[in-house]
Amino acid sequence: MVGRGVVPAQRGRVTVGIMDRVGGMGDGEARTSPSTTISSTVRVRRSQMWNEPILSQTQTRRQHYVPRSYLKPFLGSDGKLRVSDLQEGRKYSSSLENVAIQSRFYDVNLHGHAYSAEDWLASLESDAISVLRLLLEDAWAITRLTEEQENTLARFVASLILRTPFKRQELDNTFQAFFSRVEQSLQGQFVNRFGQTDGLAQYNEWREKPFHERYGEEEPTQPASITNNLLSKVQGYANVLRGAPWRIGNTLGQRRLYTSDNPVSRYLRPIRPWWETGAFSSFQYYLPLSPDLLLRIERRSDATGWDREKSPWGQRLKKDFSESEVSMARHIISRDAFRFIYGDGLVVSKQCAVACLERIELSMQEFAVEYLGYDPNPPSGAGFPVC
């Protein structure tokens, strides 16, 4: 499979090792194990490496977490981008230079030197721009992309999923919830070992230490470390996306698409097995390419064995989206926006999007339970252990 391999050291680039133990939590399907040995007789392109080196020193301070090349089709006739600020409840126009940007967003300090994924991301975007232009000019091109073009697009989409403030905040929330449960368990262990009074005293003393010292780390985790760790594994995530069906199509009706500071929105089907709670391959992904063109990556097939070996990549389909499908996409885009929505036209509010999607999912589940025998609950004894 593309993407498997041992990564050799490269001058000017360093691999990401910080937070390697937890950087991929919740996204296990995207991992592949290194199994191919690189020798002098085997040449592996950097774009096909697993755990590839992505960090280098950069002079770029203002770093875009949504590429300007991607946002360009959403510009208005005046050459400006219409921005809806969901946090402050206001709308304004801006240049591409000043949206989806944050100072030193991908920078980390390693051994006294600043390194960043910024230049690597710029290279990734440069590779993808020709494929994006091809699809904007002719959506049917999705059915005849070369393997290299398809892999380039999959890597670009995967990077859009992983590189944003939304993903960083989501992972931070996941880690906080995880370590909160760990510390509750540890509190009980202190009490069991040393008694109620001494145990709580020793636990509180341990709890007062800085977070990194509690868990044996030499220094605090830098905000960009987890993001960069995920980005270094972008080929594995791209492989998962390539294994799923892709559909591209124009929008029918008068509703126009927009995008956001979390440009790849995701949707977890409401009728699903009880154990499917949100792994990377479980989602349906929505990526607007322009106000009139949508790329939707379907949930990956569960096929295994001979069927998967015979056709490892999903179907590629050009089919326009109905007015109701476009409406659904707009709601999902608004719900998953972190703070900003980009594009002209009427925007579905985040509050409306959340409420509407919850009603739709509840109605589908109730129908499935009543008429299709669907049971969303795990069978007795099959649930996850409660710690």
Kindly report, residue by residue over 353-372, the tens digit of the pLDDT: 999 999 999 999 999 999 99
pLDDT value at residue 215: 87
**If you average pLDDT over residues 296-312, what whole number do you get?**
66
CB atoms within 10 A of CB 112: 5
183-212 pLDDT, tens per residue?
999 999 999 999 999 999 999 999 999 998
Strand order in the sheet with 316-318: 265-267, 284-290, 293-297, 246-250, 316-318
Please report, rounded to a whole number, the percentage of residues in the chain having pLDDT higher than 70: 82
Q: How confident is the model at residue 300 (pLDDT cuts 50, 70, 90)?
A: confident
Closest CA to 266 of 328, 199, 184: 328
131-163 pLDDT, tens per residue?
999 999 999 999 999 999 999 999 999 999 999
pLDDT value at residue 304: 55
pLDDT value at residue 217: 87
**If you average pLDDT over residues 250-270, what whole number do you get?**
94
Higher pLDDT residue, 24 or 12?
A: 12
pLDDT value at residue 291: 97
**If you average pLDDT over residues 2-30, what whole number do you get?**
36
Q: Which of 46-55, 237-246, 274-283 has the lowest mean pLDDT?
A: 46-55
pLDDT value at residue 252: 87
